[in-house]
Structure 1
C-alpha cells in the first residue's frame, strides 16, 4: 500500500485524534507539517479548497474530515477495531456528538481570553489576531458558545464522561473505540495546550485517568516528509479507481438527482465552508468522491463524508 501521509500541525486537536488512532493501529505514517492558518498553498493544491486540518493523503487520493479518515484507517487495518460489532452504532453516534457538541464546548472554554493568552504567549505580537481572524472566517456559518456558556456546558459533559470512565478503562469497555479518540482531543487541548485552565478537570478525576490511558497509546511509527515532497508524490501517482480505493462501499446512492460525471461542489455545512469543485465520480451511502485536476498535483481524487457536507451541482457557465 502507498504510504499514509498526514498533513497536520502539532497543536491541532483533530490531528491528535488521528495521530492516536494511527498509534492504536500501529500503522506507520509520514508527517507533513502545515500552517495552522491560511494561506495553505500545498494543502489547497491537493484538496481544491478544503482547508480544515488534518488531511490524509494516500498517493493521489486525498481524504478529508477525521470521520472519513477513521473509516479509511479501519479499512487499512481492521484489528484493533475502532468499531466493535456490538457497539458499532452507538460508538459512531457518540463520536459524532464528541466531534461537534463536546468539541465546541471544550474549545469555547479553552480559547477564552486567558487560554488564548497562554497559547500565544511566546508567539509574535500579531499571531493571536491572525489566528482569531482566520477562525472567524471559518466560522461564518457556526453559532459559537460564549466563554461562560461553554464553561457550563463543558463541566456538564465532563461529568457525563466521568460516569462512563468510572465504569471501564475506556468509555465503552476494556478497549478503546472511535468514541474515545473523538472525546479525547478537545480534552487533550485543555490538558496539553492551556494548562492554566486545566483545573476544570479536577472535579472529574476519572476523566483524567482515562485521558492518561488514551495518551499512553502514543502516535506510532512516524517519519517526517516535506510538503513539496508530498505534492510531488501526488503528481507522480495515479488515483485509485472509484470502488477500488480505501473506502469499502461503492454503490451509487442518488439522494440529490445529480448523476455521476456532473461538475459539482462539496462544502462543509458549518465550519470551514470553502467549497471543493470537481467531477462527481462516487456518491455512496457514506462518502462523495471528486476527480479534479491541478497544475501542481495533476489528477487527484478528493473524498468527503456525506454527513456534515453539502453536495451541489455547478451551474453551467
Structure 2
C-alpha cells in the first residue's frame, strides 16, 4: 500500500482562502500539517519556498510548492478523488461558479468586511500598529485595482446572497446533495463575514437558507491537523526531491520553450513574481524549477488562469 504524501499548509487562522482549503482537507479526510505564516510581509520562510509569491495559503508536498487555491483544489482531487470536488455532470458549471466566487464574490465581501468596524474587530486583540501594517500591506498588493466602497459592496453583497439562497431552495448544497468546489469557494468569503467580522454579519440574517447551508459547511471541519513550524517545512523541502512531472503535452501560447528562465506572477492582486526555469506548461498549470539556499531544489506550481508568464531576458 502506498503511503500518502504529507501535506503542509502554510496559512493563518483568519485567512478566508485558507479556510477554503482547510475545509476541503476536512471533506476529503486528508491529514495535514499546519504552518502558521504572518498575515503581512515580510514572510521570509514562505518566500524561501515560493521564490516570491506571498499570497495565502500555499500547499507544500515535499519539494513541490502549490500556489493558489484553484490549483490546490486540483491537487487534493488527485490525491483523494472521492468525495469529488468536481462531480459529473456539473463539473464545468462548478468550476465556473467557483471562479466567480473567488473573484467577484470575494472582493465584494471583503470591501464590505474591511470597513472600519470590521477592521477594528479583526485587530481588537492585536497591537495598535498591526491594523496599519495590514492595511499598508494589502494596499501594496492591490496597487491599480479598483476597490468598491463599503456602501456599494453592501448592496451587491445582499443581491449575491439572495441568489445563493435561490440556489438552495430545493437542495442542501449549491449544486446538489453533496458539496462541490462551488460550495467551498462560495463559503469562505461569507465565513469571514460571519466569523471574523461578525459585527457586520447582520446582512446574512435576511437569507436564512444561506445560514443553514453555512452551518452544514462548517460542520465538515478541518480534519486531522498537526502543528508544525516554518523551519521544519523548509527542512522537509531541502530533504526532498520534486515529484516527477507526468503531466500532459506542453502547451505553448507564449513562444517560450521549456528550459527558459521565466517569471510567473498573478495578473491582479499580489503581483510579486516568482522566477525560475520553466519545466512544465500544460493545459492547466505552469511549473518552475528554482533553487533556494535553505529549501534547496523545489518545483513551484501555478495555475494558468489568473497568472502571466514572461521570459527573463538574460544579459
Q: Tell me the residue number matched to 1:287.
A: 285
Q: Tell me the residue number matched to 2:35.
A: 32
Does the Cα contact within 8 Å between 1:250 and 1:282 map onto a contact in 2?
no
State the distance in 2 between where 1:143 and 1:300 align: 35
Q: Tell me the residue number matched to 2:299.
A: 301
Tell me the TM-score normalised to structure 1 length: 0.97
Among 161, 164, 178, the alignment partner of 2:164 is: 161
Among 41, 46, 63, the alignment partner of 1:43 is: 46
Alignment size in residue pairs: 312
After the TM superposition, which residues 1-317 of structure 1 pair with which residues of structure 2 at under 5 Å, given as runs? 1-243=4-246, 249-317=247-315
State the distance in 1 between where 2:5 and 2:171 align: 37
State the distance in 1 between where 2:263 and 2:248 align: 20
State the distance in 1 between where 2:55 and 2:137 align: 11
Describe the superposition over 1:24-78 as per-residue Cα deviations: whole angstroms up to 9, x where unpaired: 0000001111101001011000000000000000000000000000000000000
| Structure 1 position 250, deviation (Å) | 2.5
Q: Give the 3-state SS of the residue equivalent to 2:231 in structure 1.
A: helix
Q: CA RMSD in A?
A: 0.7
Tell me the TM-score normalised to structure 2 length: 0.98
Which segment is superposed worse, 141-150 or 2-11?
141-150
Q: Tell me the residue number matched to 1:246.
A: none
State the distance in 1 between where 2:36 and 2:207 align: 34
Describe the superposition over 1:129-187 as per-residue Cα deviations: whole angstroms up to 9, x where unpaired: 00000000000132211111111111110010010122210000110000000000000
Q: Give the 3-state SS of the residue equivalent to 1:30 in structure 2.
A: strand
State the distance in 1 between where 2:296 and 2:203 align: 48
Mark the runs of 5 or more structure 2 residues left unpaired by the alignment: none
